[in-house]
Amino acid sequence: LELSTRSINFAAYHTLDTIYSWMDSLVAQHPGLVTKEEVGRSYEGRPMYVLKFSTGSDRPAIWIDTGIHAREWVSQATGVWTANKIATDYGSDASLTSLLNSMDLYLLIVANPDGYVYTHTRDRMWRKTRSVNPGSACRGVDPNRNWDAGFGGPGASTNPCSDSYHGPAAHSEVEVKNVVDLITSHGNFKSFISVHAYSQLLMYPYGYSCSHVPDQPELDSVGRAAAQKLASLYGTSYRVGNICNIIYPASGGSIDWSYDAGIKYSFALELRDTGRYGFLLPASQIVPTASETWLALKHIMEHVRDHPY
Amino acid sequence: QRLFVGDQVIRINAESEEQIQLLQALETQEEWELEFWRRPVSTGLPVDVRVPRGSLEPVRSYLLAHDLPFSVLISNLQELLNEEKAEMERNQK
């Protein structure tokens, strides 16, 4: 059965195949706005698809990825809802329309497809990639410790059996390398946002160092305003700050890499925590979570649009 | 498929730096096979840890012995997983 964008249930978790099929239908329904592009293959050979929202050529761009950690299912589900929101609001939401009339938006809904499939088939609590670690019985690398940003530093493990194993080298994970190559070859990304769950945090660089980045005051101010917008819907309270101080030192993270690559507006979100479910947030909370997150994402993107650099 | 029958997820709210250090010591305790969903960092953030069924007693004793305030976030992880799976199957139908 082919799913249409009308028939997919956004208040449900879906398999990789369903999400990928749904992407096709979204593209079919919004041909002048959305395209599905393969950015490469995962370790186990699965395609990695990014949805590109674009109304012109040679535009500066915003990057959003969801679900780099496989078990954080509300992240991928939020990505699906968000993609639909962008496609359906374009043309009716004046602010979003103006954004997409001047910038492109790339949305990678399943940033770790092998891990995501593994959470559906073998181990719901799997976090990492599924690459083989030579000399170890344990598989997988934490793809958010594998970026070339203080790689191998504090907050990452040298043990392949650890959930925060950084891998043998920076960008050793093809899932990371695919994104790095796309961002680098594009050369005009102005914002990079990674969406995780759960902890209710909105963070900016650095994680590999506790020193402040040069843009800290602006990033902090944007982050706090975004968190305020998010809270306006259901009162969900976020903490805002740099990764190192708000959680703990964590080297090799995606937004540290993007910031050091010159993408000033680099943020990471940790979606909602009800204090009852951890990674197993009930599907009934997907839409509320995505809806409140959208307000924060939109605020950040509007700031990016209005503050060219 | 990996099962988590009887595993609990416990939320610990450390109230001092000393208690954070006690929890950090737990992270290195490999014998109990704990999985930290949220690691011990500061008193402002709760610590969530998945405790395998077989380690529940020693972990609870450890927490009680050190006056570490905790509550049960998930009383049986597999039950929650089963509910999630059933809901997905219903949705697919």
pLDDT value for A4: 52
Distance CA A160, CA A144 (A): 14
pLDDT value for A5: 53
CB burial class (10 A; 0-12, 13-18, 19+) of residue A268?
A: buried
Give pLDDT < 70 ranges for chain B: none
E strands, chain A, are 34-41, 47-53, 61-66, 104-108, 189-197, 201-204, 239-242, 265-271
Put simply, the answer to whether A248 touches B4 (Cβ < 8 Å) is: no
Put simply, the answer to whether B81 touches A124 (Cβ < 8 Å) is: yes
Give pLDDT < 70 ranges for chain A: 1-6
Contacts of B34 (CB under 8 A, 6+ apart): B26, B27, B49, B50, B51, B52, B55, B59
Of residues A9, A122, A279, nearest to B91 (C-beta): A9
Distance CA B48, CA B10 (A): 6
The shortest C-alpha distance from A92 to chain B (Å) reads 30
* Pairs across A and B, CB distance < 8 A: 54
pLDDT value for B55: 97
B60 at A interface, C-beta within 8 A: no
Q: What is the ipTM of this complex?
A: 0.95
Residues of A forming the active site: 270
Put simply, the answer to whether B88 touches A247 (Cβ < 8 Å) is: no
pLDDT value for A6: 55
Task: Find, in chain A, the residue whose alpha carbon is nearest to that of B9.
Answer: A278
